[in-house]
Amino acid sequence: MPHDLRFDVSSALPQQVAQGAPQWIAAWLFMPPHIDPEQRQTVLVCLHGGSYDKRYYHLEVPGCTDYSMAAHLAEQGNIVLVFDWLGVGDSSRPADPAAADRHVVAAAHHAAASQAFDRLMDGTLYPDLPALPLLQRIGVGHASGAMLAITQQAGFATFDRLVLMGYTAQEVVREPTLELPRERWSSRLQRIDEHYLRLDRQALRTIFHWPDVPAALLVADDASAVPLPAVLAEQSVTPGIVAEDAARLEVPLFLCLGERDVSPAVEHESACYASASHLTFLLLSQSGHCHNFSSRRRDLWERIHQWAALDRLPDCRLEHCA
């Protein structure tokens, strides 16, 4: 079971955003069964996508098993932290949500991740964890969470490696292909109030999920939808909004897209990351946009674990895996 944590990020935010109110990032901590403090520990910090919260990485569904990427990676020996975005889930809501754009939210997430790393190193993050002086820091983002991870890494160099899933540095496809109805993503966003939107998950099932996803999971997925900050929703589908940031990333990258996903041209994705020291690309077959709910999810999780465990990545800059 995950352990609840909270990180105070008030000092990392502009006054306009917080307006004097305390601001925090809520997180779940997943710990491996055994930890050797003398060995390097891999820490994965995970960011969900739009209309999701941290449950995207740990969804519990009656009658369905093994839908927790976080628990799976922890069982393999990794430390996993799953954040709620600033303004989403159990994290605080900014006084001025419109001012909390991708750069502001990335700054909040950097502050939270930095605190987590410091506390892991000095042994104060959680009572059952010893001091862990040797860390490999990996950022993980899905969909809009990948947009935020790219923004964060370009601005703060928080991580040693990045895993980017279900996102494109080109342009998020608003009119899905693959013989799907040609309907704009914006038509699936319903305004809740001035600052928050709700995504119509049922209308996007064909993009989000492969046909073999269990009905009980689809119901749970719809029920788990949370309000989405309007400013981040708009930015996440703005063509090329992270193009410059993506081109500047120098760390090793693991990219994953589903067979049915949001990229306009999968074959051009790797070119968006021209400065990356290494790039592994996985096109996950029989998967929609939400890879963690697909029948191939364990293949993805194991690929990520194996990639993270490598001390030295292959010499080739671009590696495709199936």
| pLDDT by 10s per residue, the chain, length 322 | 899 999 999 999 999 998 889 999 999 999 999 999 999 999 999 999 999 999 999 999 988 889 999 999 999 999 999 999 999 999 999 999 999 999 999 999 999 999 999 999 999 999 989 999 999 999 999 999 999 999 999 999 999 999 999 999 998 875 444 444 434 455 566 777 889 999 888 888 989 999 999 999 999 999 999 999 999 999 998 999 999 999 999 999 999 999 999 998 898 999 999 999 999 999 999 999 999 999 999 999 999 999 999 988 876 677 677 6
Question: CA 132, 138, 143: angle at the middle one, nearest 5?
Answer: 145
- pLDDT value, residue 161: 98
CA distance 317 to 141: 21
- pLDDT value, residue 188: 67
The ranges assigned to domains in the chain are 3-321
Buried b (16+ CB within 10 A) or exposed e, 291-306: bbbbebbebbbebbbe
Residue reference for tokens 């999701």: 52
pTM: 0.94
For 58, the enclosing helix (H) or strand (E) is none
- pLDDT value, residue 300: 97
CA distance 236 to 174: 11
- pLDDT value, residue 34: 93
- pLDDT value, residue 147: 98
CA distance 30 to 37: 16
CA distance 28 to 60: 14
Per CATH, the architecture of 3-321 is what? 3-Layer(aba) Sandwich (3.40)
Query: Under DSSP, is residue 167 helix (H, G, I), strand (E, B) or coil?
Result: coil
CA distance 195 to 155: 25
